[in-house]
Each structure stands twice: as C-alpha cells, then as structure tokens.
Structure 1
Amino acid sequence: MRPTLTHIALHVPDLDACVQFYSRFCAMRVIHERAGKGSRIVWMAEPGKEHAFIFVIMPGGQDRQLAADDYSHFGFALASREQVDAIAAQAAEAGCLIWAPRDEPYPVGYYCGLRDPAGNYVEFSYGQPLGPGSEAMPIP
C-alpha cells in the first residue's frame, strides 16, 4: 500500500473571503461546489493539478490565532525572487502580510508569508528543492 496525499479540508469562518484569497494570491480556482450540511462546500485547485491535490473549503470554522513564531503554513513555490516580492507587495497592500520577504539558508530559500482570512499562514517561496526549477536541486 502506498497512500497519496490528495487534499486538505479546512473549516473556515468566512468561506467567500477564503475562496477570494486563494484565487487572488495562490492562483487556485474553484473546480467543484456543492451543498453540504446546510451550507456549501468548495473544492479549489491549481490549474492542471485538479486531479492531484485540492483544498476543500467549508464554512463553520473558527479564526485561527497563530502565534507570531508559529511557522505552521501551506507552502507555494514561485519561479523567482521577484515573484515573491510581488506577492509580498500585494499582501502588504491588502493587510495580510505577516513575514516580509527574507532569505534563509538552503533548503529554505527566499520567502514571505501571508495570513489567510481564516488565520492560516501561507508561505510563498523561491529556491527550495520543491516546485518550479527544483529538479536540479538535491533534497538534503
């Protein structure tokens, strides 16, 4: 048996705000919506990855109050440092930037962090041995 990670399911306090956040900052799109337990359930995925990995977003969650030094997060890779800077600038303007762009030793790389409307942290990175351009990088 070899399990495959296919999705993460999140209960959130404001479904529409989270859908807008993941659409705007993560380029995810709604691939499925349905009624569920008196509300609606939304599936979101990155284009081209609809059959590999999705976020299932449902209403009814509490706002997460993560500590400033809590690095629990969802990680998204970008193709350049400039793209990290662009996301950080958009997030600062929207009031959801929590970690300004910073450089860390390999394998962490260059990254910034945002807070989604449910309180989850979302990292955008470049230079990790994951994501765009990572095929040539060794995983430590």
Structure 2
Amino acid sequence: MRPTLTHLALHVPDLDACIRFYEEFCGMRVFHERAGKGSRIVWMAEPGKEHSFIFVIMPGGQDRHLAADDYSHFGFALDSREAVDAIAQKADAAGCLIWPPRDEPYPVGYYCGLRDPAGNYVEFSYGQPLGPGSEAMPIP
C-alpha cells in the first residue's frame, strides 16, 4: 500500500483570524468543526476537495517568526499572472504581503507570498507544473 497525503495540521495562536485569512485569500471553507481537548478543531478545504486534502487548524500555537528569506510555505496555484497580482495587491492593502510578485525560471514561475496570522508563509503562483493548466506542462 502506498501512503496518500490527506491533511496538514496546525496549531495557531488566533484560530478565528486564521480561518478568516484562509477563507479570504485561499478560497477555503470550514466544512467540519468540533470540540477537542478543551478547544475547537476546524477542518478547512477548497470547495470540492474536502475528501482529498485539508487543513486541520487548532488553537494553541505560537506565532512563527520566519525570516524574509525563509521559503517554508504552503503553495496555492492560480490560473493567471493577473490573479497573482490581484492577491498581492489585496495582501499589500491588508498588510500581509511578504514577497511582492516575481518571475523565476521554470518550474518556479510567477509568484507572491503572504504571511498568515500565525506567521506561516503562503505562496500564490502561476506557471508551475502544478495546479490549473499544469496537465499540459512537462515535468523534467
């Protein structure tokens, strides 16, 4: 049997702020919520992907203080460069843009980065061999 990646679990200092961030910027939604160990546990996913990959978010974590050149991140694919620019503008206005849009050689593509309320970095990209339209792109 081969394992399948199904979820990522995070402890965060402000659960509600993280829920709002992932709803607003990533289009995810809460589809399950329960009490657990004296707190709330929330399951979030992109609509239609509730059975393939989710974020499990729980209160109690500490704010992450990543360096500007730390590229640890969650990656979301977008369907155009304009969509990357739009997310970057929205994030800049919200004060959470950390990497302005930039273009890198294949397979990195065009991307920007945001900081979520827990300090995690979140990348939004176009032109990687993952996500919308990637079926037509070869992976070397």
Note whether the superposition's TM-score is higher than 0.5: yes
**1:82 is matched with which residue?**
82
Unaligned runs of 5+ in 2: none
1:91 aligned counterpart, secondary structure: helix
Partner in structure 1 of residue 126 of structure 2: 126
The answer to whether structure 1 residue 59 and structure 2 residue 51 are counterparts is no
Residue 8 of structure 2 aligns to a residue in which SS?
strand
Asked whether 1:95 is paired with 2:88, we answer no
1:33-56 alpha-carbon deviations (Å, 9 max, x no partner): 000111100000000100000000
CA RMSD of aligned residues (A): 0.4
Q: CA deviation at 1:22?
A: 0.1
Take 1:54 and 1:94, find their aligned partners in 2: how far apart are those partners? Answer: 25
| Pairwise CA distance, 1:139 | 1.1
Q: TM-score w.r.t. structure 1 length? A: 0.99
Residue pairs, 1:1-140, within 5 angstroms: 1-140=1-140
SS at match of 1:66: coil
Deviation at 1:131? Answer: 0.2
Instruction: Report the TM-score, using the length of structure 2 for normalisation.
Output: 0.99
Identity over the aligned pairs, expressed in percent?
89
In structure 2, what is the Cα distance between the partners aligned to 1:32 and 1:48?
14
Q: Secondary structure at the match of 2:86?
A: helix
Residue deviations 1:12-68 (CA, integer Å, cap 9, x gap): 000000000000000000010000111100000000100000000000000000011
* Alpha-carbon displacement from aligned partner over 1:103-131 (angstroms, at most 9, x marks no partner): 00000000000000000000000000000
The 3-state SS of whatever aligns with 2:24 is helix
Give the AA of the match of 2:56. V
- Describe the SS at the equivalent of 2:25: helix
Runs of 4 or more, structure 1, over 4 Å off, are none
